[in-house]
Amino acid sequence: MRRELFAALDSLTLGEPEPNSLGPEDIDLDWSSARRLTDRRNGYLQELDVESLADWAQEAGARVRLLVRPGDFVVAGGCVALVHPPEAEGAEEAVARTTALGAKRTSGSDLEYSVRQLVEVAVRALSPGINDPMTAIAVLDQLGSALCRVVPRSFPTGVTIRDGRVVLMRPVSDYAGLVDVSFDMIRQNGAGAPSVAIRMLEILTLVAEQERDPHRLAVLRIHADKIVSDARKAVTNKEDLRDLMARRRAFGAVAAHGGPARRAEP
C-alpha cells in the first residue's frame, strides 16, 4: 500500500506548478446558461482522459465544467458536467467517451483512494475489538512520509487552457483534501488513545519542518487544533494531556519558525 501511495503521489502531483496557477474557484465564468450533462451509467469514476476531453471542447468551440472527479460515485441520471454554449453538439458523447466507470475505486487516478487504503488499516486497528494503537502509529508514520514527499510538488489546478481560452474545468485533489483524508478518520477513531493523538502531533511537526508554504502550514495547524480539541474531551489522564499539549507547543514553534522538529522545545 505504501508503494501504491507513493506511486500515486508521483503521478498525480506535479514537479512544477502549472503555467496557469488559477483553479476553477478563481476563474469567474458565467455558467448560468450552460446545459446540464447527465450520465446513464452507475459506478465509480475510475479514469478520465483530460486531454481528449479538452481536445473535443477546443474543436467544438465549447467549454466544459466537470462536476465529478476520479473516485466519485456516479448515479445514473445525475448531472456530471456543464457545457457552454448549451447548443454544443456531442457533449454527452464526449464526456462518456473520455471517462471510465467501474464497480470499485482504483488508485490509478484517485489519489485519495491510495491514502484511504492505509487509513482503513489504522481505523480497524483502533476498533474496540482489536485495540492495536501500534499499527495505527505505523500508518501515521507512512502518511507523514507521504506528506513530506509532496513538499516540493504542486497539485493540478483543474483548469485546461487552449489558445488562451478555458476549455475544461474539473475538480481535483488538493493539499487540504490530502491532509483531511490522512488524519480525520484516524483522529476521530483514536481520540481516546493518547499515544495515537501524540504521534499525530509529532508527525505534523515533522512535516512542518520541511513544509514551509504558509497556506499548507495553515492546513496543518487546523489539524493540530482538531487533535487537541478532541483530546481535551476524551483524554482523562492529566499527565497524558500534559504530554499532548507539549507536543502541540512543539508543533506551533516549528510551524512558526522552522525546525529542526526533533529538538523543538515544548
Q: What percent of the chain has pLDDT over 90?
A: 83
Confirm whether 5 is domain-assigned.
no
We report the CATH number of the domain holding residue 28 as 3.90.1170.30
Confirm whether 166 is domain-assigned.
no
Assess whether 124 and 250 both reside in one domain: yes
Confirm whether 65 is domain-assigned.
yes
Assess whether 89 and 116 both reside in one domain: no
Assess whether 83 and 149 both reside in one domain: no
Assess whether 41 and 142 both reside in one domain: no
Q: Return the pLDDT at 191.
A: 85
Cell 475544461 -> residue: 168
- Please report, for residues 115, 207, 241, the alpha-carbon distance to residue 123 in angstroms, rounded to integers and kept in the order given: 12, 22, 22
Q: pLDDT confidence of 173, banded at 50, 70, 90? A: very high
Kindly report, residue by residue over 95-136, the tens digit of the pLDDT: 999 999 999 998 778 889 989 999 999 999 999 999 899 999
Assess whether 92 and 120 both reside in one domain: no
Assess whether 80 and 143 both reside in one domain: no
Q: pLDDT confidence of 264, banded at 50, 70, 90? A: low
The model's pTM = 0.90
- Mean pLDDT over 44-70 rounds to 97
Q: Return the pLDDT at 18.
A: 83
Range of the domain at 221: 111-161+172-263
Confirm whether 14 is domain-assigned.
no
Q: How many domains does the chain have?
A: 2
Assess whether 50 and 132 both reside in one domain: no
Residue predicted with more confidence, 24 or 83: 83
**If residue 84 lies in a helix (H) or strand (E), which one and from where to where?**
strand 79-84
Confirm whether 11 is domain-assigned.
no
Confirm whether 185 is domain-assigned.
yes
Q: pLDDT confidence of 234, banded at 50, 70, 90? A: very high
Assess whether 121 and 239 both reside in one domain: yes
**If residue 253 lies in a helix (H) or strand (E), which one and from where to where?**
helix 238-257
Q: Of the given ranges (7-21, 137-151, 190-204), which has the lowest mean pLDDT?
A: 7-21
Assess whether 239 and 124 both reside in one domain: yes
Confirm whether 1 is domain-assigned.
no
**If residue 46 lies in a helix (H) or strand (E), which one and from where to where?**
strand 43-48
Q: pLDDT confidence of 167, banded at 50, 70, 90? A: very high
- Please report, for residues 27, 84, 181, the alpha-carbon distance to residue 31 in angstroms, rounded to integers and kept in the order given: 11, 7, 30
- Please report, for residues 74, 193, 195, 239, 254, the alpha-carbon distance to residue 232 in angstroms, rounded to integers and kept in the order given: 39, 12, 14, 12, 22
Q: Return the pLDDT at 253.
A: 96
Assess whether 98 and 137 both reside in one domain: no
Assess whether 118 and 193 both reside in one domain: yes
